[in-house]
Amino acid sequence: MAITPGGAKGLMSEINVTPFVDVMLVLLIIFMVTAPMLTQGLEVDLPQTRTVSVLPKDTENLVLTIKRDGSIYIDQYQVGLDELTDQVKRLVTDQKKLLFLKADKEVAYGVVVQVMGLLKGAGIDRLGVVAEQERDTGPKAKKK
């Protein structure tokens, strides 16, 4: 109920939109602040995880492996860090294949990030990360 102007008694049939606008502005601000936070994540599979899907067996993918000593392989062929971008362009980007990254858990994080940067520079927009299934050993596994 609202009071009509001029002191006349009776009900006013108009909607008061001021509280509605206030609520909508607050919601708009909340969405503007939280929306960028929702898109910042990077999906990463650690070397061991509970849920592992099987790597596709078709010929439409290649596996880039980083061994413990830092050597890099595309499938079973060794590639130097300086020629990685050209090889990935030729084998993956031009042939429109999928690329999966398989790194030893002892490899330094900086090496993996450097390789991922080179892959991004070669035009790889989608990169799968290969992980092993977590082994249930020790007292923590028995607490389930």
First to last CA, the chain: 58
How many Å apart are CA 28 and CA 19, to the nearest integer? 14
Q: Let me know whether 126 and 75 are in one domain.
A: yes
- The tens digit of pLDDT for each residue in 84-102 reads 888 888 888 777 788 888 8
30 and 59 inside one domain:
no
Which CATH number does the domain housing residue 58 bear? 3.30.420.270
The number of folded domains in the chain is: 2
Which pTM value belongs to this model?
0.54
Residues 74 and 119 in one domain: yes
Q: Higher-confidence residue: 49 or 119? A: 119
Question: What tokens does 66 get?
Answer: 């980083």
Domain containing 23 equals 5-38
Mean pLDDT score of the chain, rounded to an integer? 75
pLDDT-based confidence at 41, cuts 50/70/90? Answer: very low
In a domain, 78, yes or no: yes
Asked if residue 87 belongs to a domain, the reply is yes
